[in-house]
Amino acid sequence: MNTDKPTISQAVGDVLTRDNAVNQHLRMGIINYHALATRIKPTIDRITERDVNISTIVVIIKRFADVRSKLGLPPKIPALKDAKMTLTSGVIDITITPKKANFMNELKRLVELSAKLEEHPHILPLVSSIKIIADANDYGKLKTALRNQYTLKPRMNTAKLTIQLSEEVEKSPGIAAYITDLLYRNGISIVNLFLGYEEIILILDESDAPRTYSIIKEAANETQ
C-alpha cells in the first residue's frame, strides 16, 4: 500500500486552493457544488488513483467552503468595490535607520528634501527606521543628501501600486489579508505593503506589477 498518496480530502483541498476564481466564488456563495465536483472529479481521480464518488467530493467542497467563509472575508463584503488603482513603474525602495535621538529631525529633513524632488515620495516612519518610496530618477538627489549619514542599499526595479479605498470598504475588516491572500494564491510576491485607512500601497518587482494590477482589477470588477 502506497501511503504517499493524498487522501480525497487533501486532493480536493489542494485543487480548490490553487484555483483563485473558485475561491472567490466559494466565499461569495455563488457556485454550484455538484457542478464543481463534476468538473474536478477527473483531477481528483488522477491524484488519488481512485474512482471517487461525486457525492463524496460535494461533501468535501461544502466543508471547505464553510471553513473558507469563517476564516476569510464575509462573502457579502465587497472588498475592492469602487477602489481606484494607480500603477507606477521606475520606483526605488530605500530604508534608513536614524539614531533614536535624531529620528524626528531626520524625518523633518526628508520632508523638506521631498520638495526638491521631481516626484513627491512616500516617507513612511516605522518603529526604528524610515522607508522612502521614490521615483528612480530622484535617487541621485537622495543619495547626495543621505550618503554621508547612511550606507544606502536601494531596491531598484520595483513598481508601486496604490489602491485608494472607497468609504464603504474603509470600515471593512480583513482588507489587507484579502489582498495578500489573493496575490499569494496567484504566485505574486509582495516586496512591501503599507496599509492606511484610506489607501494601500504595494511595492512589487516590476516584472510582477502588470499582472498584479490585472488580478486586483479583476477581483474589483467582480464586486461591482
- 73-224: CATH topology is VC0802-like (3.30.2130)
Cell of residue 222, nine digits: 467582480
The predicted model scores a pTM of: 0.61
In whole angstroms, give the CA distance from residue 213 to residue 86: 9
pLDDT tens, N- to C-terminus, the chain (224 residues) = 445 677 888 888 878 877 767 776 776 667 788 999 999 999 999 988 889 999 999 999 888 877 665 544 444 445 677 788 999 999 999 999 888 898 999 999 999 999 899 898 999 898 888 999 999 999 999 999 888 888 888 899 999 999 988 776 655 556 777 788 788 778 888 999 888 778 889 999 999 999 999 988 887 776 55
Which regions of the chain does DSSP assign to beta strands (E)? 84-96, 122-125, 130-135, 155-164, 190-195, 199-205
CB-based contacts of 62-65 (< 8 A; 24+ apart in sequence):
62/33, 63/9, 64/12, 64/13, 64/16, 64/26, 65/26, 65/27, 65/29, 65/33
